[in-house]
Amino acid sequence: TGPVEFHGEHQAGIITPVQDRLHFAAFDVTTTKRAELVSLLKEWSAAAALLTAGRDIGQYGAVNGPGEAPPEDTGEAVGLPPARLTLTIGFGPSLFDKRFGLASKRPQALVDLPHFIADDLDPNRSGGDIAVQACSDDPQVAVHAIRNLARIGFGRVAVRYSQLGFGRTASTSRAQTTPRNLFGFKDGTNNLKLEDTAKLEQQLWVQPDDGPDWMVGGSYLVSRRIRMNIEIWDRTSLGEQESIIGRGKGTGAPLGKADEFDAIDFEAKNSDGDLKVAKEAHIRLAHPSFNNGAELLRRGYNFVDGSDGLGRLDAGLFFLAYQRDPRKQFIPVQNQLARSDVLNEYIVHVGSGIFACPGGVTAGSYWGEKLF
Ligand code: HEM
């Protein structure tokens, strides 16, 4: 329930042990003035430091201000603990267009994502100039944070879309148990974890030689709203479900193995000569040994946004993955999954974003200071 430090070498909310709840918001910048964008980022950073410490924002907070003015803080988090709130910012490709003179600062790794086979993207749930990921163990704390940032941004940014997530689908620390996604499988077993320090430098954090300078210590976030056709999945046999993923549903162990964290044996065969982990199983196609060593730090959430009017739940996975270079990581992995993954029969990608998340904020500095 305690606070997570906002300042540091890296932004919080990336390797921070994944919290239970998400409120993710993508913003369009509506002002055309660079100075207004900079002052917004300063105000947001000051507010983020207070919010993540579990404090009201502004000088007077929610209830101590003058009776004649709207309160500075909207108040619904009064009395709630910080609940490990983290706020993580990222800048989308569209921020680097002509409006703010940032075109020459656009990182080469911040590519526009290509169209992947079977993508069915809704433009109203895709893109965004700026993304803020709020994660907390308390849903109201996460919602309060985004609401107050949006309120501060009035006249300078507008919410383009936002997504609530109610349950984590990954762990980012070996101290956490592995949660389950809405297909009922343990998710996050073979994820990058904060204890893998050497690997994090290789796979997660932008290094000095990668450039640009303002991204060193940062990471690239790919977000995908993935609708899961859970009603169809629920009519699929247990054996079929397990062979699609490549793991046992109960234990989470790779097929042919006993324990969740046992290494996957991609060569093992059943007595009838078939591979235990099928050729097109999700964990084979996504595994680093079939992707030039590429790994991701996955940090996604389950969502159910009511129903779709056709008697089906609008449910799925809000996939969030951080990495050092999406050209070498998310894009090739997703290309391979989009081509061959048997899971595709049960999922469809309906929203998408890519964001450059700068290094951490030091006290007295603000989000993205080195970019301006
Ligand atoms: C592993 C489910 C989408 C990349 C897994 C596992 C499950 C799972 C159950 C095994 C547990 C684990 O090691 O975490 C799903 C579902 C998806 C989905 C239900 C869609 C709704 C994606 C996407 C990507 C991805 C879009 C990346 C483009 C991975 C990776 C692994 C993995 C890298 C670890 C493979 C390994 O090294 O063993 N996923 N996944 N997944 N998934 Fe997914």
Most informative mutation of 282, 295, 303 for ligand 1 (most atoms within 8 A of CB): 282
Asked whether 128 and 120 are in contact (CB, 8 A), the reply is no
Q: Which pLDDT score, from 0 to 100, does residue 316 have?
A: 98
Beta carbon of 168 within 6 Å of any ligand 1 atom: no
What is the interface pTM, i.e. ipTM, of the complex? 0.99
State which residues of the chain have pLDDT below 50: none
Asked whether 363 and 249 are in contact (CB, 8 A), the reply is no
> 319 C-alpha to center of ligand 1: Å?
9
Q: Which pLDDT score, from 0 to 100, does residue 79 have?
A: 95
Which tokens hold the place of 31?
A: 């002002």
Most informative mutation of 113, 171, 173, 187 for ligand 1 (most atoms within 8 A of CB): 187
Angle (CA) 169-173-179 rounded to 5° is: 25
Count of residues for the chain? 372
What is the dihedral sign for C-alpha 266, 113, 158, 122? negative
Beta carbon of 337 within 6 Å of any ligand 1 atom: yes
Q: Which pLDDT score, from 0 to 100, does residue 1 have?
A: 76
Distances (CA, A) of 204 to 40, 85, 185, 305: 28, 21, 25, 30
Cα torsion at 329, 335, 340, 343 (round to 10°)?
70
List the one residue out of 206, 192, 225 whose CA is nearest residue 15. Answer: 192
Beta carbon of 347 within 6 Å of any ligand 1 atom: yes
Beta carbon of 283 within 6 Å of any ligand 1 atom: yes
Which tokens hold the place of 288?
A: 């680093």
Asked whether 278 and 247 are in contact (CB, 8 A), the reply is no
Distances (CA, A) of 235 to 183, 230, 249, 269: 11, 9, 15, 27
Q: Which pLDDT score, from 0 to 100, does residue 353 have?
A: 98
Beta carbon of 247 within 6 Å of any ligand 1 atom: yes
Q: How far apart are CA 105 and CA 171, in angstroms?
A: 33
> 223 C-alpha to center of ligand 1: Å?
14
- Does the reported pTM lie above 0.95? yes
Strand partners, 301: 168, 318
Q: How far apart are CA 347 and CA 356, in angstroms?
A: 26
Distances (CA, A) of 240 to 230, 284, 313, 315: 14, 16, 22, 21
Q: Atom 22, ligand 1: which residue's CA is nearest?
A: 319
Which tokens hold the place of 203?
A: 């796979």
Q: Which pLDDT score, from 0 to 100, does residue 317 have?
A: 98
- Put residue 26 in one of left, alpha, beta given phi > 0 → left and psi -120 to 50 → alpha: beta
Q: How far apart are CA 24 and CA 20, in angstroms?
A: 13
Give the start-end residues of each E strand in 53-165.
86-91, 130-136, 157-165
Q: Which pLDDT score, from 0 to 100, does residue 121 have?
A: 98
What is the dihedral sign for C-alpha 180, 183, 188, 190? positive
Give per-residue pLDDT as tens, 112-132: 999 999 999 999 999 999 999
DSSP 160: E
Q: What are phi and psi of 322, to 5 degrees?
A: -105, 150
